[in-house]
Amino acid sequence: MDAFFDSWPLWAQAALIVFLLALSGFFSMAETSMVASNRHRLRAMANSGHAGAAITQKLLKRVDTLLSVLLIANNLINTILPILVTGIALHLFGTNGLVLSIATLTVAFLIIIFSEITPKVIGAAFAEKISVKIGWVIYPLTIILKPLLWLVNSFVSGLMGLMGLNQKEANLQTMSAEELRSVVLESSHFISKQHRNILLNLFNLEHILVSDVMTPRAKMEILDLSRPIEEVIGQLETCYHNKLPVCDGDPEKIIGILSVKKALSLLGNEELTHADFRELLNDPYFIPEGTPVMQQMQFFQENRQRLSLVVNEYGSVQGLLTFEDIVEELIGEFTTSFPGLIHREQWAKDGTYLANGSANLRELNRLLGLNLPVDGPRTLNGLILEELQEIPDHDLSVKVGGVVMEIIHFDDQGIKTVKLLKPLPEEAE
């Protein structure tokens, strides 16, 4: 060692220390960037032909080998540095306890700042950008050091076995639904808002029941065959639905589903009777109101059906569900206006929004970015009445779900019109 200090000039010794610090920082940055890299983003880059991403992805398939290379190199350098700096200090200033302490503190400071903290912060901040470039350097090292790595990893695997840890099981861990949801939420720079909302709605669909997206009984259009034939024909001519539930006097008892297109083809017959329409009826399909939407969507696909009637535990019809209702829950309404909403625009310039009492809470949440509770009543009228516990007899305001609501119009049956006041950002959360 003395020969080294005597033969090398001081500037060369200082340059060697700087080089080792930089090399140690390089391996620290490589370790952090590799581990912090988004695997899905790297996979997408590799599939698009990015060679560096493909190399990095290959390295991450064997994390044990990758970490062994980086840690062995980094720790060897960090072991040599204190010895080198201390040797230089003792050679220049003699064997003094104070000199030894200062040298130790100096090298510790240099390693912490330039070999650990700074490189790791940079590696974490620009993980993918750095890892796809560093992979070209690390990959050859894994080949050169393969015998040493095999020895080290065999020893590590033995220790993990003694502790009851299975590395293969750790590698097989998959991403949970909540983790995937978080990835979608954080992907605002890569996925458009519309596409991101569709993906989030798809996650929510797992927890939604058919009763949440159905057309309520009060809004269903039903064809009554007990009425005069002229009235039946008139209703069919002005109907804007493809299919209609049909009753025979009792609207609570649906006897079939009529295809409006087929019914209209009969209208040229002057001797048209109710029996002609009865022959076109298809058997109604009933589903419990607690059926999950995902299960019902699968049924629609497998049986090539598009409409079902939702019933409660007593068999009473509560509403109607179509395949389009489920699709609209995913991608939004097809029409230019939401049923139950006064206007299509978002918040007015004065921070208000005027809505009908029959407005669906899910649609309001989606349209206005609110967090109104949807685990109880499904309409704005129902939500306010649940809060008040009575039908109001005068204009008043109520705050529900962080939103101030002014009741504008009501009658003996419920609330008809409500003015919503836009909540502050912290209240909306």
Q: How far is CA 172 from CA 40, 43, 47, 62, 164, in A?
A: 15, 17, 21, 13, 16
Give the per-residue pLDDT at 93.
72
Give the per-residue pLDDT at 344.
46
Closest of 286, 277, 227, 301 to residue 253, by C-alpha: 286
Closest of 206, 211, 210, 186 to residue 196, by C-alpha: 186
Give the per-residue pLDDT at 178.
67
Alpha-carbon distance of 179 to 381, in angstroms, equals 35
Per the CB < 8 A criterion, the answer to whether 53 and 46 are in contact is: yes
Contacts of 104 (CB under 8 A, 6+ apart): 82, 86
Per the CB < 8 A criterion, the answer to whether 340 and 359 are in contact is: yes
Q: Could you list the mean pLDDT of each consecutive 10-residue stretch along the chain, which spans 429 residues?
A: 62 83 88 84 84 87 82 86 80 72 84 88 88 88 83 77 66 60 65 71 76 84 90 85 88 89 81 88 89 86 84 88 82 52 63 84 82 83 86 82 86 83 67
Task: Indicate the pTM of the whole model.
Answer: 0.49
At CA 114, angle to CA 112 and CA 117, rounded to 5?
55
Alpha-carbon distance of 44 to 51, in angstroms, equals 12
The DSSP 8-state label assigned to residue 191 in this structure reads S
Alpha-carbon distance of 211 to 78, in angstroms, equals 65
Give the per-residue pLDDT at 167.
58
Alpha-carbon distance of 208 to 325, in angstroms, equals 12
- Token digits of residue 365: 């949440």
Per the CB < 8 A criterion, the answer to whether 293 and 214 are in contact is: no
